[in-house]
Amino acid sequence: MSLWEYANPVKFMATSGRILPACAVLAGLVTLVGVCWGFFATPEDYKQGATVKIIFIHVPAAMMAINAWAMMLVASLIWVVRRHHVSALAAKAAAPVGVAMTLIALFTGAVWGQPMWGTWWAWDPRLTSFLILFLFYLGYMALWAAIDDPDTAADLTSVLCLVGSVFAILSRYAVNFWNQGLHQGASVLRAGAVTGSDTEEKVSNVYALPLFVSMAGFFLLFLALVLMGTRTEIRARRIKALEARARMADA
């Protein structure tokens, strides 16, 4: 049983069709539980008051915005090296989901920044690289739409994806490179906390637990939407092939 079996569209369609309903239901449930738990069942923060509740949308969305690009990069590289069409289509299907996550993160960040920092937007390294990532998403989708030949489109978008990865990485790690920014560093997934060298509890468990549930929910949501999008792309390509064959038969 190898992962590469799913390069076969028939095999991919069969398996993804079985996974998708469960994944979609689970995504809805987990996201609902995480967000509702965060919104209605957490106490107010000692400094931020009720505004802290934006974290349950902002952080999962920002996390998935960056992870979506990472997934597109892996899928694009598989396409360039191994020429599996399903992989290229999965990258294509992930872009609209990623751009939606990016937009959610930018919007909730602005709404959060206004009362806390005193501004909707600042040209902080992290915020700026996130905005550029958003523009890269738009450019990526535009490039897919602009080129008729599917293989050329997949090649070119793969290269664009590789270049855009710089900003995906920057928007996650900019706070570590340039510490003189406005955006604070990672609270939950700090380097020290993951390796165990820094045991100080920065985010109280009261907030961390619903946040983790919400993150899991957003991840499942992304998975379900990408599976659905990839299936649609595969079907659309099959229709194109059938139409071409019908034209050939008519001629």
* Distance between CA atoms of residues 237 and 240, nearest Å: 5
Least distance to other proteins, CB of residue 21, Å: 36
Residue 201 or 250 having the CB closest to other proteins = 201
Residue 71 or 211 having the CB closest to other proteins = 211
Q: For the chain, how long is the longest CA-to-CA vector?
A: 74
What is the binding site for other proteins (CB under 8 A)? 42-49, 52, 55, 77, 80-82, 115-119, 122-125, 151-152, 155-156, 159, 162-163, 165-166, 177-182, 184-187, 190, 202-204, 206-207
* Distance between CA atoms of residues 138 and 165, nearest Å: 14
Residue 50 or 239 having the CB closest to other proteins = 50
Residue 134 or 207 having the CB closest to other proteins = 207
Residue 151 or 243 having the CB closest to other proteins = 151
Nearest to 73 by CA among 180, 186, 164: 164
Residue 100 or 182 having the CB closest to other proteins = 182
Q: In the Cβ-directed half-sphere of 104, how many Cα atoms lie within 13 Å?
A: 20
Least distance to other proteins, CB of residue 181, Å: 5
* Distance between CA atoms of residues 53 and 116, nearest Å: 13
Q: 198-221 burial string, b = 16+ CB within 10 Å, else e?
A: eeeeebeeebeebbebbbbbbbbb
Residue 114 or 232 having the CB closest to other proteins = 114
Nearest to 92 by CA among 242, 233, 249: 233
3-class secondary structure, 66:
helix
Least distance to other proteins, CB of residue 227, Å: 26
Least distance to other proteins, CB of residue 242, Å: 24
Least distance to other proteins, CB of residue 13, Å: 26
Least distance to other proteins, CB of residue 40, Å: 14
Q: How many CB atoms lie within 10 A of CB 2?
A: 6
* Distance between CA atoms of residues 134 and 98, nearest Å: 9
Least distance to other proteins, CB of residue 203, Å: 5
